Amino acid sequence: MAEQRNDTVFGMILRGEIPADIVYEDELAVAFRDIAPQAPVHVLVIPRRRVRSLAHAAADDQALVGHLLSVCAAVAEQEGVAESGYRVVTNIGENGGQSVDHLHFHVLGGRRLSWPPG
Ligand code: AMP
């Protein structure tokens, strides 16, 4: 079955239609700097294959989701915030504040982050 076209901004980045500051990539995942950084380090980790959100991840996406989290940790290490600490966040749906319909994990670090989030 033909895969549905990914018309999100992240689909455009994956196809090379718009630029992104890519900091890591492998066969399953791509990580790039957020265009509106909320912390000195703000990287988005996304799967190449479109999954709309964590809520849309199917049972056979478990390995992919685990891989994405491993990539988050590797990116934090690469960006030099692993020791000082950082946060990994995924927003889901309207109340979660999700604005791009393609699963992504935010890796935020380089400053002390407040809790709870707003
Ligand atoms: P969320 O609001 O959790 O769905 O996160 C989407 C994130 O994508 C936001 O933090 C945006 O700043 C970011 N974003 C939107 N467009 C781009 C882009 N072209 N390149 C990099 N990050 C982007």
R_g over Cα of the chain:
14
* Cα separation, 70 vs 112, whole angstroms: 22
Percent pLDDT > 70 in the chain is: 97
By the 8 A CB rule, do 25 and 31 touch?
yes
Q: How far is CA 46 from CA 1, 8, 113, in A?
A: 23, 12, 22
The answer on pLDDT for 53 being more than 50 is: yes
pLDDT (tens digit per residue) in 66-100: 999 999 999 999 999 999 999 999 999 999 999 99
92, 118, 108: which is closest to 38 by C-alpha? 108
Sign of the Cα pseudo-torsion (20, 25, 30, 36, in order)? negative
d(CA 43, ligand 1 centre) in Å: 10
Given ligand 1 and candidates 7, 9, 101, which is best to mutate, with the most ligand atoms within 8 Å of its CB? 9
> Which pLDDT value is given to residue 3?
53
Measure 3 CA to ligand 1 centroid, in angstroms. 23
Give the separation between CA 71 and CA 49, rounded to whole angstroms.
15
